[in-house]
Structure 1
Amino acid sequence: METFSGLPAGAALDVATGEGRHALWFASRGWTVTAVDFSAEAIRKARALQEAHAPETADRIEWVRADVVSEPPRRGVYDAVAVAYLQLPAVQRRRALRGAAEALAPGGTLLVVGHDSVNLTEGVGGPQDPAVLFTAADVVQDLAGSGVSILRAERVARPVGEGGATALDAVVVARGA
């Protein structure tokens, strides 16, 4: 989340929030957050995590159960959009990422991070289905024509657990027009 650490608090969208850790990170720093996941169980766990560890953020997070592929977020309203480990087949991923880009307010920042395609053979962990893995170049292509400027697109090694194991992630940072 270092991508957002230097930005002034505003409106944030956490796409595929899962258990809500990124939403809680934003909210604990003063952001107003819309946290979206298709799973009712994920939203339940996120609310429980919030209640147990960050109850002071209750008025800053809206937990939304929705499918970001078929229900795109509001357009042009978020200063920060995080899409972390949303591992979908290419057509669905492209639709979700374009929705995330369109949700950016002018000058807003989009972060996309997920398990890189080479993680299957060169890294550890993550999905074992190559159809849901992607590269930074894939994300750049997904976002082409969406009006964002690419600031960063690369493969990044991420330490996992103990013993020096490494996962490989695709990371893209973009700015809204």
Structure 2
Amino acid sequence: RNRLLLARLFAQPANVLVLDEPTNDLDIETLDLLEALLTDYAGTLFLVSHDRAFLDNTVTQVIAAEGDGVWREYAGGYADWQRLRQERQAAAARPGKAGGKDKPRAAATREKKLSFNEKRELDALPDRITALEAEEARLHAQLADPALYQKPPEAAVQLKARLDAVSAQMAEAMARWEVLEALAGD
């Protein structure tokens, strides 16, 4: 019966499929058939599933609820989402720790003056942040291009990984800029 329903589903032309827990109550053969059909499907697929292996085998992007009403898009399957989410959390934790350590130490050891190197760094940071913002915008545009998702998923995964790295670098540069501005303003 499940195979018949799948056959009927894929016999009708459609460019969007919305599937909610499609792996429930499927035997292994039908699950393999569904994976194969969805992998070859050329349209857009919205898929909700708790089957992590199924998600890894079929999807090229994950849209995940991050909490507080925030939804974030990740390139790749479930395992890629887990890895990128952990990297993002680790990157977000690093600038906060560094900024927290630098401020008290800087206030205690400096006489409210920036060194020559810090002044140069402060002058260069706006240009660096602008360049990172431009690269981030370029990467967003590439990831928004539907043609990217007609190719093997590795390209999208690489672009998303680079986007995450650029975002982390930009967060670090912004945090450093705030620290230097605070020191210069004292």
TM-score normalised per structure 2: 0.26
The structure in which a higher percent of residues are strand is 1
The structure in which a higher percent of residues are helix is 2
Instruction: Point out the structure with max Rg over C-alpha.
Output: 2
TM-score normalised per structure 1: 0.27
